[in-house]
Amino acid sequence: MTWQSSNLPSDHQPVKCGQVGVLIVNLGTPEAPTPSAVKTYLKEFLSDRRVVEIPPIAWQPILRGIILNTRPKKSAHAYSQIWSEEGSPLAVITKKQAEGMQQRLGEGVQVEWAMRYGKPAIADQLQKLMDDGCDRILLAPLYPQYSGATTATAVDKVADKLRDMRWQPALRTMPPYYDDPAYIDALSKDLNAQLDSLDFQPEVLLLSFHGMPQRTLELGDPYHCHCRKTARLLEAKMAGRNGPDGPLRFETSFQSRFGPAQWLEPATDDTLERLATEGVKNVAIAAPGFSADCLETLEELAIQGKEQFCEEGGENFAALSCLNTSTPGMDMLEQLIRRELSGWT
C-alpha cells in the first residue's frame, strides 16, 4: 500500500510546526440571555462531575427533572440585566483579554481563548492552534485560586482532546496565581484607584469569592485556603488605607451558594446584611477571584448585593470592577504568561 497523506484524518496530516500557542480559558456562559440558551449551558456545566460531586444516578434526575425546568427562566432574567450589545460580559471581556495579550506578545506567539462550557469550545480552539502550526501550547486557566471545579476541569477537557491525537503538542499549564506578587500588586493598584474615584469613603472593603461546597475543603481541595491567602496578602498590601473614621476594614466572604448542602462561610449575602445591621453605612465590594466581570459580579453583587445592604440600613454601596482589561490586570497576565513561556520563545 502506498502512503498518501491525503488518506489520513486531518489531525494526522503533516502540519506547519514550531509555533507557540497560548490558550486562555474561562468558565463559560450562555449564548444568549434566554431560558433555552441558559438551559443548554447549565446542562453542560452542572453535568460536570467536577462541579457537582453527586453520583450521576442520583444527580441527573434532580438536574433534568427539577433544576433544568426551573432555574433557566430565573437565570435568563438575571443574564438579561447584564447582557451587553456585544454579548455576555464574561465572553466579551475574555475575548478582549486574549486580543490584548496577542498584541503584547507579538507575532511569535498565537493567542486564542476558549470556554470550558459552551463556545468557543476548548477542543476547537486547540485544533485551531495546532492547524496553525503550534506544537507547544500554554494553557492559561484564568482562575487565580485552584479548584477541582475550575482549573482541574479545564485541564480534563484539554486531556479529552489530546487523548484522540496521534501527534500531540507539548503542553504547559499556568499554575494558580493566588499568592503571586504580580497578582496581589495588580489587585491592590486597581482597587486603590477605584476606591480613590468613589464619591464616598467605605468603612469596609468586602472581598467576595465564589463559594464551593464545604465538603470539597474537607476532601482536600485547596480553593478555600487559596482564597484566604489572597485576602490576607491583599489586606497586607493595602494596609494604610483609611475609611472615614480609622483604617479601612477588610472582610472576606463566599457568594453564589447553590443547593441545600453546606457551602463555605461566611456567605456574602449574610455578611452584607450583618454589616448593615451592625451600623456600617458605607461598603465597597470586590471579587478578586474573578478575572472578568460576569453574572456573579454584575448581577449578584452589584444589583442583589446592593439591595441586601441597603434594605438593612446601609447607605452607600460600590461594587468594584474585576481586573478585566485594566492596565494592572493586563500587565499581570503578561508577566505570568511570559514566565511560563520561558524556554519556548
Ligand X SMILES: C=CC1=C(C)c2cc3[nH]c(cc4nc(cc5[nH]c(cc1n2)c(C)c5CCC(=O)O)C(CCC(=O)O)=C4C)c(C)c3C=C
Residues of this chain that interact with ligand X (CB under 6 A) are 27, 29, 42, 51-52, 71, 75, 88, 90, 143, 147, 149-150, 210, 212, 223, 256, 258, 289-290, 294-296
The site string for Fe ion over 208-247 (x = CB under 5 A, - otherwise) reads: ----------------------------------------
Contact in structure between 22 and 110 (CB atoms under 8 Å): yes
Position of cell 507575532?
107
Distance in angstroms (rounded) separating the CA atoms of residues 265 and 253: 7
Inter-CA distances, 177 with 51, 289, 345, Å: 21, 10, 21
For ligand X, the closer CB: 212 or 275? 212
User: Is 210 one of the annotated binding-site residues?
Assistant: yes
Give helix then strand counts, H and E, for the chain: 13, 10
Sheet (strand 316-319) strand order: 249-255, 204-210, 282-286, 316-319
Q: With contact defined as beta carbons under 8 Å apart, do 13 and 5 qualify?
A: yes
Question: CA neighbours within 13 Å on the CB side: how many for 78?
Answer: 19
CA-wise closest residue to 117 among 48, 214, 69: 48
The C-alpha cell of 177 is what? 496565581
Min dist. Cβ of residue 44 to ligand X (A): 11
Largest CA distance in the chain: 84
Distance of closest approach, residue 18 Cβ to ligand X, in angstroms? 35
Residues facing residue 204 across a β-bridge: 249, 283
Select the binding partner of residue 258 from ligand X, Fe ion, none (C-beta < 5 to 8 A, by kind). ligand X
The residue (of 290 and 309) whose beta carbon lies closer to ligand X is 290
334 is in an annotated binding site: no
Q: Which is nearer to ligand X, 143 or 250 (CB)?
A: 143
Instruction: Write each residue from 135 to 154 as x if it is in contact with Fe ion (CB under 5 A), else as -, in one continuous string.
Output: --------------------
Angle at 46 between CA 290 and CA 83, to 5 degrees: 50
Shortest reach from residue 164's CB to Fe ion, in Å: 29
Please identify which residue in 127, 256, 326, 335 interacts with Fe ion, judged by CB under 5 A: 256
Q: Which range binds Fe ion by CB under 5 A, 162-170, 251-259, 310-318, 319-327? A: 251-259
Q: Which does 200 bind (CB under 5 to 8 A by kind): ligand X, Fe ion, none?
A: none
CB of 9: closest distance to ligand X in angstroms?
A: 34
15: CB partners within 8 A, 6+ apart: 130, 131, 133, 135
Residues numbered 299 to 328 that lie near Fe ion (CB under 5 A) are: 300
Nearer to ligand X, 143 or 183 (CB): 143
Residues found near Fe ion in the complex (CB under 5 A): 256, 296, 300
Annotated binding site for Fe(2+): 210, 296
